[in-house]
Amino acid sequence: MLTAITRDVNENMGNCELTYLPRVKINAGLALQQHQQYQSALSSLGCEIVTVPTKSGLADSVFIEDTAMVLDEVAVMCLPGAESRRAEVAGVGDVLQQYRTLASIQPPGTLDGGDLLRVGKVIYAGLSTRSNRSGIEQLRCIVADYGVSVETVETSKCLHLKSAVSAVAPNTLLINPNWINKSAFANYELIDVDEEEPHAANALRVGRSVIYPSSFPRTIENLAQRGINVTPVDLSELQKAEGAVTCCSLVFKT
């Protein structure tokens, strides 16, 4: 059984952190509708939805992925690189402790879940503006006890590692080669995003399908031609806040 932990769109989402995108007005009502459709997509793929209550002022809290990484044996509570986001972690931990033993990243380490791509027994950790070497090294020490290794990948042109690369099928990754060095993933089959859709590398694999933004039709066609089952969702308002499909849930086996 799969559980998907989500958090509702916050009323202050318009004040979200932004790094690479200009600030534009976000329609909070439409963002809420799109998020509900996203949750429905998760349900359609066999996930039980568990919603963490949101709190006033936590503008980015819908992007719950950045607060934790859930393995079979442990949940690692992150320490987001943006100070304004650190208050998001406690509420998520309160829910995750019902499912997993918790471990935590401590200062001076910082770590965003969006920088963590797990493929089998390897976690690729993005060294980014949000995740530093101390945070990655702490993660390495935590997961080593469970036979999981950590490989550091430097990022420079995108917010998180998973902005540039994500898993779409067994041993298969979707990648923007202009944002990340392909050599780090030489052992996998790589599918390039369409050149006209640079933000299209983020996909959420759930079972044998991927939840994927409907705003990237060229890459959707490419994935379909590879035999990958795509469940499209419209997240246009959340994308204005530098969000994507992996950002909005923590999916794990229960």
- Domain residue ranges of the chain, discontinuous segments joined by +: 2-253
Rounded CA-CA distance 199/245 in Å is 12
Sheet strands (E) in 24-99:
47-52, 68-70, 74-77
pLDDT tens figures, 46-92: 999 999 999 989 999 999 999 999 999 999 999 999 999 999 999 99
Residue 13 scores a pLDDT above 90: yes
Q: Could you tell me if 139 and 111 are in contact, meaning their C-beta atoms sit under 8 angstroms apart?
A: yes
Predicted confidence band of residue 140 (pLDDT cuts 50, 70, 90): very high
| pTM of the model as a whole | 0.97
The pLDDT of residue 156:
87
In the chain, % of residues over pLDDT 70: 100
Residue 35 annotated to the active site: no
pLDDT tens figures, 148-188: 999 999 998 999 999 999 999 999 999 999 999 999 999 99
The pLDDT of residue 76:
98
Predicted confidence band of residue 225 (pLDDT cuts 50, 70, 90): very high
Task: Average the pLDDT over 99-111 and give the result.
Answer: 98
DSSP code at position 72: S
Predicted confidence band of residue 39 (pLDDT cuts 50, 70, 90): very high
Q: Bigger pLDDT: 55 or 204?
A: 204
Q: Where are the alpha helices (DSSP H) in 13-64?
A: 28-44
In the chain, % of residues over pLDDT 90: 98
Q: Which of 96, 70, 69 is nearest to 80 (CA)?
A: 69
Rounded CA-CA distance 70/68 in Å is 6
- Superfamily of 2-253 according to CATH: L-arginine/glycine Amidinotransferase; Chain A (3.75.10.10)
Report the relative pairing of strands 209-213 and 116-119 from DSSP bridges: unpaired
Residue 247 annotated to the active site: yes
Active-site hit among 16, 47, 158, 160: 160
Active-site hit among 78, 158, 247, 248: 247
